[in-house]
Amino acid sequence: MCELFGLSSGEAIQPSAALNAFRLRGGRLADNPDGWGVAFLADGTFRLVKEPVAAIRSTLFAKLSESVRSSLIVAHVRKANYPPINTLANTHPFKEPCCGKDWVFAHNGVVPGVMHPNDAEHKAICVPAGQTDSEQAFCHFLTEVAQHFPAGNRRNNRSWFRALGRVSEAVASLGKFNFLMSEGEHLLAYGHDRLHFLEHHRSRGSEPDIALIATEPLPPYDGWQAFSAGELRIYRRGRLVARLHTAPARRPGRGESSQA
């Protein structure tokens, strides 16, 4: 099964231990040998680095794990089951512009029945470059969220959080759907059935607030907690700013296998 890793911090940090532990999930400690990707915020914009090869065999990922310094990260290691095609276009995370921002998205699960953006009520924001249900879900998300995303400097408009919760619930009803997404300010994490979080809040000194998200708890850290089923957690600068609970309907016979 594919796996996710995310970070939100009050300031740029170098999470080498976490990234190295996650890299081992890409073909050594877990069966996710079909690609890896890391999106990280640098100078206010997302940089995206990915390869359709096993993370554990990637010299680039090893170097990146030691060098990346960022306050916002979305990473993924892939198990290519649906479709079983290992290409760069099918490798997560995905990156698309919407609402004046660059968004990144990575998914764990399987939702082959997800609505294609061209079938949506509103004009599609993007068209998938690859063949995954994950990228189709991403474009569908952006198309729906764009109807609610605040324009200009209206930062307090949180209706797009609620819209994201509704779409997450609907897509999760099609199978299994855990994801990380960001527009460069918030880390949005949805745990349908398999996601964990770890929060560190500063008490004294100059240490920043930090939130880590991972499919499976990563060493050497203790204190990981599981998401509630259908929980959407939204972080900004390492702090939880919103938490929504959804209740996706279960469809008998669907979502028993996993991919991303």
CA–CA gap between residue 37 and residue 33 (Å, rounded): 12
How far, rounded to the nearest angstrom, does the alpha carbon of residue 68 sit from its chain's CA centroid? 18
Average pLDDT score over residue span 100-128? 79
Q: What is the pLDDT of residue 151?
A: 66
| Sequence ranges of the domains in the chain | 3-245
CB 109 within 8 A of CB 175: yes
Q: What is the pLDDT of residue 41?
A: 98
Per-residue pLDDT at 233 exceeds 80: yes
Tell which wins on pLDDT, 127 or 226: 226
Average pLDDT score over residue span 71-82? 94
Tell me how many degrees the CA angle 179-116-215 measures, rounded to the nearest 5: 10
Percent of the chain residues past pLDDT 70, beyond the cut: 89
Q: What is the pLDDT of residue 250?
A: 64
Report the mean per-residue pLDDT for the chain: 89
Which helix (H) or strand (E) covers residue 48, if one does? Answer: strand 45-51
CB 25 within 8 A of CB 64: no
Average pLDDT score over residue span 230-254? 85
CA–CA gap between residue 153 and residue 159 (Å, rounded): 14
Q: What is the pLDDT of residue 256?
A: 39
Residues paired with residue 180 on neighbouring β-strands, in sequence order: 106, 189
Q: Which CATH class is domain 3-245?
A: alpha beta
Q: Give per-residue pLDDT as tens, 134-188.
A: 999 999 999 988 888 876 555 556 788 999 999 999 999 999 999 999 999 999 9
Per-residue pLDDT at 238 exceeds 90: yes
Q: What is the pLDDT of residue 91?
A: 97
Q: What is the pLDDT of residue 122?
A: 64
Per-residue pLDDT at 3 exceeds 60: yes
Cβ count near 247 (within 10 Å): 10
State the pLDDT confidence band at 115, using cuts at 50, 70 and 90.
low
Q: Give per-residue pLDDT as tens, 46-68.
A: 999 999 999 999 999 999 999 99
CB 70 within 8 A of CB 12: yes
